[in-house]
Amino acid sequence: MTTPTEILPTPPYSVYPAIRLTTTPYPEASEWGLGRRETDPNALFTFENWQASVPNDSFAIYWGNSPIPLAQDIVKNIANRYNLPIPGTKIPEGEFEVVGEVTRAASGQLATSFPQKYLVKTQRPGGLTFWASEQHHRGLHLTIEGFTEGSLINQANTKAGLWCLIKPYENIRKNDTITVAYGAFTIDHIVSPVEAAGTAPIRVFISPQVIQQGNQFGPIGIAFMVRDVVNNVSGETYAYSKPYILEGELDPTLLKPPVFSLDGTNTSTVNLDEKSQQRYEARVVLPTDPLGPTPPNQIVLILKATQKTQSGQSSKTVRLPAVIDTNMGVEIIAIPGDLIASITDGTLQISFEWQAADGTLLNHSGTTEVRVKGTADLKLPAPAFEHKPGPQTIAPENYPKGAVVAVKYQGMNATQVIRLNWTFANGSGAVVPVQSGNASGTVLFDISAQLISQSMGQVVMLSYEVTTKNKTSVSDSQKLKVQGKELVNDTSTFNDGSYAGWERGPAGADPRNLKFVGESGKLILFNNTFNNKSAGVLLKKRFTNLRAGNTYVFSVQVGRWSEDYAYPIGFLQTSQGERTTPLTITTQYPLFQSMSLSFVAQSTDIELMYVSDQATGVGNDYVLRNFVVERT
C-alpha cells in the first residue's frame, strides 16, 4: 500500500522578498517575480520547519517540469527554517511552476508544497550599454511629437500639453513602468500588453500643469528611465535616456518676440533662390518710459542659425552690437545679410535682450523663427597661392616641399564641395583632390612640388568651383607665372634609384615589369615585361622649360639582358609627333646601344617618350640608362 504524499503547510519562499504579481495593472500569469536583486549572484529560498523534522531529512526545490531538483540539501540541525541557496546562473528566465519537496530520512515519506508560479526576469529594460563616456542610456530613445530637438515651446504651442514618443526598447514587457522626467517633475506610464507587443512609439502625456511648474525660460531636458515588473532598472550606471532638449519661453512676462521683415515685408520664410534686395530687419517693440532713462537703455539682438550638416546638426549664435533704445516704443535693427546667406536649408531664431546702459539685463523677449530655403549666390574671391592674393611670379626651386592654396569666402559650410582648378594656357589642367567646406570659412589645398615643377615656364590660372546641391558657382582667378631655367641639358642615369621625373607609361605600369635591381654592386633600371604586355609607352617625361624654335636631341641607351629570348625593339617619340625608326636591340648588357631623336620645339611644353615596339613580353628583357635631353 502506497503512503499518500503529505502537503507542506508553507511553500518555500525567497528570503530576498519576491515581488507579488497578483496586483499588477495588467494581469500576470505568475504569483511571484524574481529580478536581478533576488537572483544575483544567488537566489536564497527557505523552507519553514515541517512537523516532526529530524536530521537527514532532505528538502529540495523543483523548477518547472524537470524531474531533477534545481537545488537540494539535508537537515543537519533542527531549526525553525532551512535555507537553500541557488546559483543565479542555474535559474532559467521565464515563467515556471515552483514546488518544494521534503523526503523524510527514515521512511522516505514525501511532503510537497502546492505549486506556485514564478516569473524570473534578469534582463534589464533597454538592454546593456557599455559607453561609459556617455552619461545616458544609449538604448533608450525619446522624441517630442511635433517638436524637433532644440525647438521653442511657449504658452501658445503647449496649451494642450506635450506628447512624448518613446521608441520600443530592448526587453520591453507589459507592466514596465516608464518614468518620464520633465525637468524636476516625473510622469509614470505603465506599458500595456499591446504597447509591449507593437512597434509603434509609446505615447506619454505631459500635461500643461506639469509644464507650468517646470523651467519657464531656457533649456528644458526631457528624458525617461524604465523599471520592469520585477524592479530591474534600465542601465547599469545611467538609467535615463539622453535628454531631449527644448527651449522654453513660457514666462508670461517675456517681451514680445521681434518681427522679421525682408525688403520691408513681414515674413517667416527667406528663399535665397529668389532675387531680392535682401534687406533683412527685425522690428522690436518695447515699453516706453515717460521720463526717459538717462543714459538710455539698449537692445542686443541675438541670432541663432541652425542647419543640418553631414555630421548631424550645427548651430551658430551671434549677438549683434547693442543698439540704443530711443524710447519710441519701436526700434528697427538691421540683420547682416551674409549671416542669412550662410544658412543652407536651415532656420534663424531671432530674439533680443533689453538692457540698461551698463549692460544690466532688464528683460528677455520671445523668439521668432525664420525658415531659410535655397542657396545664396556666393561671392567667391580668387584663391591665394601661399596665402598671398593677386598675380604672382614663382620659382619652383623655392617650393621643394610643395605649397598651399588658400580658399576663403563668406558663407562657407560643410555641405559645400570645393574644387580647385589649376589651369594652363592651353586649357588643360591638373587634378587636385576636392574638399568640403567648413565653418571656419577657409580651406587649404596642398600643391605638390612635382606639379609646380611640371608647370615651369607656364602661366597658370588658379580658380575654384563651389557646389551646393545642384548649384555651382565659380570664383575669380589668380594669375600665377611659374618661372624656370630654360633647359640646356637634362640627364637621367637611373643609377641612384631615382626616376628623375620620368614616369611609367602603360607598358611599365606593372611594378613587376620596370624596377631597380642590384647588379655587380650598383643599381640598374631593368625591364622584365613580367606580364607579357610590353608594347607601348614605357617611360615618359613632360618638359615645360623648352624654347620654341630651338633644336633639341633626345637620346637613350639600351642593353639587351639575355640573348636566349626575343630581341627588344624600341623607338623614341615626342608629343609633337616626331619619332625614330624602331630599333632592334642586339647588344648584350653590360654593353649598350644608343638611339637618338632630334626635334625642333614648337612650344615650351613637350612630352618625350621611350616606346617599346616588341609585342610579346616573353624574354623581352633589357636595361635602360642615360636618358639625355640636350639643346643643340
Q: What is the mean pLDDT of residues 344-368?
A: 93
Whether 397 has a pLDDT exceeding 90, the answer reads: no
Residue showing cell 538691421: 334
Number of domains composing the chain: 5
Residue 131, domain member (yes or no):
no
**Which CATH number belongs to the domain containing residue 462 in this structure?**
2.60.40.10
| pLDDT confidence bin for 531, thresholds 50/70/90 | low
- pLDDT digit string, tens, across residues 410-428: 878 888 999 999 998 888 8
The pair phi, psi for residue 133, each rounded to 5°, is -75, -15
Residues 495 and 476 in one domain: no
Q: Are strands 392-394 and 478-482 parallel, antiparallel or unpaired?
A: parallel
pLDDT value at residue 345: 78
Between 548 and 154, the higher pLDDT residue: 154
Residues 238 and 365 in one domain: no
Spell out the residues 6+ positions from residue 292 whose beta carbon is closer than 8 angstroms to its own: 327
Q: What is the mean pLDDT of residues 425-434?
A: 89
Residues 277 and 405 in one domain: no
**Which CATH number belongs to the domain containing residue 585 in this structure?**
2.60.120.260
Task: Select from 373, 406, 433 the last residue of a domain.
Answer: 373
Query: What range does the domain containing 331 cover?
Result: 259-373
Residue showing cell 604586355: 533
Q: Residue 111 CB: number of other CB atoms within 10 A?
A: 19
How far is 249 from 567, CA to CA, in rounded Å? 88
The cell for 39 is: 537572483
Q: Give strand pairing partners of 348.
A: 305, 370
Residue type, 331: E
Residues 150 and 55 in one domain: no
Residue 353, domain member (yes or no):
yes
For residues 141 and 222, the answer to whether their CB atoms sit within 8 Å is: no
Residues in the chain: 632
Residues 334 and 443 in one domain: no
The cell for 443 is: 580651406
- pLDDT digit string, tens, across residues 176-230: 999 999 988 999 999 999 999 999 999 999 999 999 999 999 999 999 999 999 9
Task: Select from 87, 120, 153 the last residue of a domain.
Answer: 120
For residues 102 and 111, the answer to whether their CB atoms sit within 8 Å is: yes
pLDDT value at residue 114: 96
pLDDT value at residue 291: 84
Residues 226 and 203 in one domain: yes
For residues 85 and 73, the answer to whether their CB atoms sit within 8 Å is: no
For residues 129 and 137, the answer to whether their CB atoms sit within 8 Å is: yes
Residues 610 and 511 in one domain: yes
**pLDDT, the chain, mean:** 91
DSSP string, 468-499: ETTEEEE---EEEEE--PPPSEEEE--TTS--
Task: Select from 194, 214, 249 the last residue of a domain.
Answer: 249
Residue 238, domain member (yes or no):
yes
DSSP string, 557-588: EEEES-TTSPPPEEEEEETTS-BPPPEE--PB
DSSP state of 211: H
pTM score > 0.75 for this model?
A: no
For residues 617 and 529, the answer to whether their CB atoms sit within 8 Å is: yes
SS3 assignment, position 445: strand
- pLDDT digit string, tens, across residues 105-141: 989 999 999 999 999 999 999 998 766 678 899 999 9
Residue 127, domain member (yes or no):
no
Residues 214 and 332 in one domain: no
Q: Are strands 298-309 and 312-319 parallel, antiparallel or unpaired?
A: antiparallel
